[in-house]
Structure 1
């Protein structure tokens, strides 16, 4: 199958609202706790090994990083949250910046929240999903590192997350298992993102 996301390339990093690209076109944002596998998931979706920086150090993504898929079609990598080694005022800056981005960004078409299948639905995950639901945006949860669990455990984890998301948000949030390593679920997730971007 052809991959509509594989032309993605780095466009810019924004640390303040002024640095954001024009608010036109379509964007899909990716959020996740530090070390949840967000960069690996992004790289698997676009089929590039090095598009998003994969780091063993949590909290390396410290801006909103824009990747252009086509003219006016973007993937946006949000700062990994849950970072321990970041000064309080910088955390507050990101929080305010991301909050504003979610509330006001017209181009935003959907949110992918990346969670380690072994530790899903932490407070920040719920908060990010809540942002999307409040704005009426579709959201999709990727339970990453699924290859670390057996099939039965994966199924149990998926059902538990589905149940909790449904009770919190109704049927507005999709959820699936995913592994950048084994490529499990990559095709499904890619289709979700491509549909939101109308590719």
Structure 2
């Protein structure tokens, strides 16, 4: 377990065209759109003010493009970790929830935090995402013990990572989903992890 003072800043990538159209992206490599690039540039000074010692990113271009905005301010290299990619949504990639047949009348995500929920017959379960992202976050925290690391990733990956580190006592679905380019801060405390900030944004 990481010692006191260790912080993980989980930064969701900026907007893409698929986000604007409410389409599942999963591992499809959709780049940032113009708004997403502007979001990354606006958020980067706020992340730099946290004094990061490292930037670790999903290898998908929308995450890397977001990370580069912070790297340009801090001079830090961007490390890539394939375990930080978004949930594999399989056959749902490119579809809206309505097209995939999982839309809900109230507009909320139909999958919640049910560990057994599978994102399409060919995709991952929530539990599988939590296991891989949680393992990555714990290793990143150990490498940067007592410091701050910025982890640039995706919404389902963030939710799964928070659940993995904080346990069932923290229910991400009780909070609003963090918007594009928002960040969530986890701190190591009392032998575990707690959420210090949820879904902050530059705007």
Whether TM exceeds 0.5 here: the answer is no
Structure number with the bigger relative contact order (C-alpha 8 A, sep ≥ 6) is 2
Structure showing the higher strand proportion among its residues: 1
